Amino acid sequence: MREIIFDTETTGFDPLTGDRLVEIGCIELINRVPSGATYHCYFNPQRNMPASAQAVHGLSETFLSDKPLFADRVEELLEFLEDSMLVAHNARFDFGFLNHELKLCSRPEISLDRMIDTVAMARTAHPGAKHSLDALCTRYGIDRSHRVKHGALLDAELLAQVYIELTGGRQIGLGFADDESTEEANENSENHVTIDAAQRPSRPPRLFSVSPEEQQRHRKFVETLSDPLWSFEDSKTG
């Protein structure tokens, strides 16, 4: 199973008002394991860079002025994406910009049927909690100390780790797949990496922090319970 984790940086929030894609970073997963294959590119947006956007990702007009146009790299990007499922955080935003750029190049848009949104996954897994990439990295003990500003490839690398946790953690892809599915994964990517379970580095236990807000919501929930089991146990020992 091949999936692509990707992230974008842009000049703003809405491609329909003239904002453009300026960076994309992609990470390949095979059976939910990073294969080591990546795609990364900066693009010249052919417009000014608003100060508010530059403050987020640090990409200036000067830096982007000698970068290729999206149209110059669209074929190699599509070749990397193939027909794989595409995973992004707040995916409609990234899909919106990607499809807008494809439309400007007279290329078919990517179907939303291929979209996996990790924000929606996080809301289901952790209702009531914060679902930003930073918050999820904190929840899962993922080191993001090197993330000073947003960057498409760096954020895709962090999101790949978050996605693996959201889909069951590191136990996925430890070799339980049948031979046929393994052969299919090998055929789908030249960069497929087979890792024997015995060779995998051990991971330290993850520490899950509970915020004061979550503790308060838990206390309120407990107060709504009638005759909980622990009250019965307390009455027997009292």
Residues acting as catalytic residues: 150
CA-only gyration radius of the chain, Å:
22
Q: For tokens 């007009």, what's the residue?
A: 61
Alpha-carbon distance of 93 to 24, in angstroms, equals 13
As to burial, measured by CB atoms within 10 angstroms (0-12 exposed, 13-18 middle, 19+ buried), residue 199 is: exposed
Looking at the chain, how many residues does it have? Answer: 238
Helix axes 118-125, 152-166, angle to 10 degrees: 40
Which helix (H) or strand (E) is 225 found in, with range?
none
Of the candidates 49, 40, 58, 62, the one whose C-alpha atom is nearest the C-alpha of residue 19 is 49
Of the candidates 188, 195, 187, 192, the one whose C-alpha atom is nearest the C-alpha of residue 170 is 195
Q: For tokens 């994309």, what's the residue?
A: 24
Say if residues 192 and 186 touch (Cβ distance below 8 Å).
yes
Alpha-carbon distance of 147 to 151, in angstroms, equals 8
Which helix (H) or strand (E) is 132 found in, with range?
none
As to burial, measured by CB atoms within 10 angstroms (0-12 exposed, 13-18 middle, 19+ buried), residue 125 is: middle
